[in-house]
Structure 1
Amino acid sequence: MVAALLSTGNYLLHFDQINEMYLHSKVMPTEPDHIRFSLLVTLSVASGVCLLAHRSVVGRGAVILWGSVLYLAFYQHLLAVRSGLVTLYVVGIVGLLWLVFRTRQYQQALVLAAALVLIPAVSYSVFPTLQNKSANTREDVGRVDNTSSANNYSLVGRVYSYKVALEVVKDNPWVGVGRADIEPEMAVRYQRDYPNIRPEAYIQPHNQFLFSAVAFGLIGLVLFIIGFYYAGVSVWPTYAPLLLAQYLIVTLSFLVEYTLETQIGLGYALFFILLALEGQKVAPGPEGEWRPV
């Protein structure tokens, strides 16, 4: 919440410059990088909703928490990072389905459904950043068929990184090429298949699953999936909303980023998963110790 307020203040101080950045595939500065920060915002909203739903905070604190959750939901649209917006709405839709089919809390489901419709509608009409990001995304998508556009447009570059990565996997299906050789192996195929793309625009596959398949082959990919998701599956059928929320957020980020290949991405993904798993341990007594989740 504090970081979002500081970011908003910086945006208001540099209103025109930052709005212009969004037309050029850039976003307002945040710490950490804008993608991981947007994921943290989604997790913060989910955490606040869980605290409110379980009445863990009451009185004036609940009013402040309601305000914080609403502010962060709108801030996610002001930040206008695609990964953050997708995770926010996927988590929201899963929560809606939970309320309708599992707990039968139709009134709360109606409130959540209204929020999922009204917040983006209001945000799009108010925030120039969201409008400009939408225009930039449409322009990116419209240039996918033009190979040379990968030199200047981030979405186009990602599409071609996927195509090149699939060629590498096709040539090395079982054990991959090794983590250290991803860049040179992809460069060879970039030069061969897409000569219009400049070497400085070569990027590694922005997809954690595809990245793992290139590095370690299909065998390594299967081992990675089992290793990463086993801990979350093992607590089933325990009700663990924050664990589910974090797994959803991280999995969605895997589809568009090699999240675990950076320190901040690895730290973000594992810290909150491990924190949620800690809360699933059996306490030694009825009130033996405090559990974070």
Structure 2
Amino acid sequence: MAFSLRSELTIPRLLVAATFFSACTIVGLFTSSFFRVLPSIGMIGMAATGLTCFLLHGQHYQRTNRSNYLPFLLIFLVHASAGVLTSSARIGEYIRDLVLQLPFLVLPLAFWLLPPLPTRNLRFLWLLLIGTTALAALLSTGNYLLHFDQINEMYLRSKVMPTEPDHIRFSLLVTLSVAAGVCLLAHRSVVGKGAMGLWALVICLAFYQHLLAVRSGLVTLYVMAVVALLWLVFRTRQYQQALLLAAGLVFVPAVSYSLFPTLRNKSANTREDMGQVDNTASANNYSLVGRVYSYKVALEVVKDNPWFGVGRADIEPEMALRYQRDYPNIRPNFYIQPHNQFLFSAVAFGLIGLVVFIVGFYYAGLSVWPRYAPLLLAQYVIVTLSFLVEYTLETQIGLGYALFFILLALEGQKPVPQPEGEWRPV
């Protein structure tokens, strides 16, 4: 029986299955409102494929260093251990959180158990990300043109155009797609007419990021551009390309600001928002003001529970108590959880839990350093910047986006039995 399965479920076939389920995960990030289960199907399929491949063929290939993958499990264990502090009334919330965090248990094990995906499969998955992001951006732009005046006015009220997924996560996907496209082009992974088409998508997505005008997306895009500029100047000494990129950093925002009312309105809204920070009641109407007060409230919770936190499930009631005590002018329906992943983790798990989280999440990136891994670096930079202004890992789409593309970039680090003669996206 085992021999029959082994002959049918060969390693090449299982790698095709792993690529298919990875594709499901990528596409599923864009279907959260109408096919929410697709990313879960992809992740479960990846886990089943990895386990099957290991059980049937584990003796025929060498798995990569587990230190790149197993530290992610620490994050799941931190969430699981918070059950000790969870109040009986919040057990249901605790269980929901454990289910949400399952990818930290499932995906790293799946990628660790699998042999390396072929380079062409990795290239396909990154191109799928770029193509799917471009399609979603096109649909979003079409909707914007159909509701031009209405959507432009929304930007003056701290709102943005509808996107799939939500605008914060989508803006991060746009930046990662631009970075992935540039990496593939720089390493000649796509040539000929395909390269021309990819350049067109990258440029269009860069302009679309300005049309979308989400602060997180714009910051990550320009930070990645500055990182690329420094790399070209100090590492590769490609001064001509660096000069072209520097010109683009001036030209693109200037043109975008003149062309896109959304960007102008978002700029005006941000200036107005920042001017209201000293007025506590403004947290009821201004998003940036609300975030500032969420940080102040969260720091008070950390002061009272410095070592082990209050537990992930009890953040909401604990924050509400301090909102009521310290900021009575803020209405209950505008109480928000701290929009900072590090601060959120400190509130939930204390400073000890925060340290464990940082080690678990960043160990893979540090273990690869200083080897060349531009896609891994890009994803870590993008996600870290998002951590500063969002609790990215506390939603299904945010967690799936952050973890999956780190693991996909790590896949390019796996040693292959025979050199393939081309760059493995990493």
Q: Deviations over 1:55-111 (max 9, x none)?
A: 221211111111111100000000000000000000110110011111111111111
* Structure 1 partner of 2:319: 186
TM (norm. structure 2) is: 0.68
Structure 2 residue matching 1:224: 3-state secondary structure: helix
**Alignment identity in percent?**
88
**Is residue 160 from structure 1 mapped to residue 313 from structure 2 by the alignment?**
no
Q: CA deviation at 1:223?
A: 0.5
**Counterpart amino acid of residue 132 in structure 1:** N
Q: 1:260 aligns with which of 387, 393, 400?
A: 393
* Structure 2 partner of 1:277: 410
Q: 1:197 aligns with which of 330, 333, 339?
A: 330
Distance 2:177 2:282 in 1: 36
Distance 2:417 2:222 in 1: 37
**Runs of 5+ in structure 1 lacking a partner?**
none
Matches within 5 A, 1:126-137: 126-137=259-270
**Counterpart amino acid of residue 239 in structure 1:** Y
Distance 1:89 1:53 in 2: 18
Structure 1 residue matching 2:415: 3-state secondary structure: coil
Q: Is the 8 A contact 2:295 2:338 kept in 1?
A: yes
**Counterpart amino acid of residue 202 in structure 1:** Y
Distance 2:380 2:425 in 1: 17
Q: CA deviation at 1:236?
A: 1.3
Distance 1:185 1:59 in 2: 58
Q: Is the 8 A contact 1:173 1:218 kept in 2?
A: yes
**Counterpart amino acid of residue 114 in structure 1:** A
Structure 2 residue matching 1:256: 3-state secondary structure: coil
**Counterpart amino acid of residue 215 in structure 2:** R
Q: Of the two structures, which has the highest relative contact order with CA contacts closer than 8 Å and spacing of 6 or more?
A: 2
CA RMSD of aligned residues (A): 1.3
Q: Is the 8 A contact 1:283 1:289 kept in 2?
A: no
Structure 2 residue matching 1:233: 3-state secondary structure: helix
Distance 1:18 1:40 in 2: 21
**Is residue 114 from structure 1 mapped to residue 247 from structure 2 by the alignment?**
yes
Q: Is the 8 A contact 1:182 1:215 kept in 2?
A: yes
Deviates more, 1:61-70 or 1:224-233: 61-70
* Structure 1 partner of 2:198: 65
* Structure 1 partner of 2:216: 83
Higher CA-based Rg? 2
Q: CA deviation at 1:292?
A: 4.8
* Structure 2 partner of 1:92: 225
Q: CA deviation at 1:291?
A: 4.8
Q: Is the 8 A contact 2:189 2:422 kept in 1?
A: no
Dislocated runs of 4+, deviation >3 Å = 288-293
Q: Is the 8 A contact 2:189 2:423 kept in 1?
A: no
Q: Is the 8 A contact 2:257 2:263 kept in 1?
A: yes
Q: Is the 8 A contact 2:184 2:425 kept in 1?
A: no
* Structure 2 partner of 1:24: 157
**Runs of 5+ in structure 2 lacking a partner?**
1-133
TM (norm. structure 1) is: 0.98
Matches within 5 A, 1:196-215: 196-215=329-348
**Counterpart amino acid of residue 162 in structure 2:** P
